[in-house]
Amino acid sequence: MDLDWSGRAHTILEQTLNEIKTRLASASWNHIEETNTIAVYNTNIGNSFLAKATGTINTSPDNLVRFFSDSNNIRQWVDNLKNAIQLQQSGDVKLIKYQIQNKWPVDDREFLYVTKSFTEGNLTYLIERSVDLPNIPTDAKHVRGDYMAGYIFEPQGGNLTKTTLVLNYDPSGNVPTAIKTSILNKQASRLKAAKVNFG
């Protein structure tokens, strides 16, 4: 394991936090659907295609950070998950890897990312970003995708939390644009899993 992975992770995650804030402030979002009071949007910024989901969830920001940063819960929003594992933790930074199974002729995918929460005023951010660590090569017969996500948790009183998710989920490789778009919009609906979990 790269002994300096956590130091680089802090830098990457702080940069991603600023990127998430910028994209939230500047993007014009297209409404896609609303189910179980979770609204899903998407947008294009340059060559990047992003999705956003918003909703109010009946639990605290701390519980939501624990829920979304736990690799054991990924199966709740990734239907074709093969496996997910937390490889390392250093302080409040986690290194997580998960793999998904695709139908032929699309190769299976894997994602290697770091995650950490930040607190600014009454807002809590949970940031996730793909990393490239040479000593953790991509598994055979897999393509490693690129991934960025930011959750913003804002207490509303009465144990309610306004939750916003912004993400860019690129499976990489030879995947038709329509499939990429469908995957991304479905990923944004992961807030529905939290809504079901916390009631």
114: amino acid identity, one letter: V
Cα separation, 38 vs 197, whole angstroms: 14
Own/partner pairs, 105-108, CB within 8 angstroms, 24+ separation = 106/174, 106/175, 106/179, 107/141, 107/142, 107/143, 107/173, 108/82, 108/141, 108/142, 108/143
Query: How do the pLDDT tens digits run along the chain, 199 residues long?
Result: 455 788 889 999 999 999 999 988 877 898 988 887 899 888 887 767 888 999 999 999 999 999 999 999 999 988 789 999 999 999 999 999 999 888 777 788 899 999 999 999 999 999 999 998 888 889 988 989 888 999 999 999 999 999 999 998 776 666 666 666 666 667 667 898 999 999 7
- Residue 177, C-beta contacts closer than 8 angstroms, at least 6 positions apart: none
φ and ψ of 198, to 5 deg = -100, -5
Residue type, 178: A
Phi then psi for 183, rounded to 5 degrees?
-60, -45
The CA distance from 122 to 99, in Å, is 34
- For the chain, list the domains and their CATH numbers: 5-198 (3.30.530.20)
The pLDDT assigned to 43 comes to: 87
Who's near 149: CB < 8 A, 6+ residues apart? 127, 128, 129, 165, 166, 167, 168, 169
Evaluate the CA torsion angle 15, 3, 167, 126 in order and state its sign: negative
Q: The whole model's pTM is what?
A: 0.91
- Give the integer Cα–Cα distance in Å for 188 and 180: 13
Provide the pLDDT for residue 1: 47
> Residue 131: helix, strand or coil by DSSP?
coil
- Specify the pairing of strand 108-120 against strand 142-144: parallel
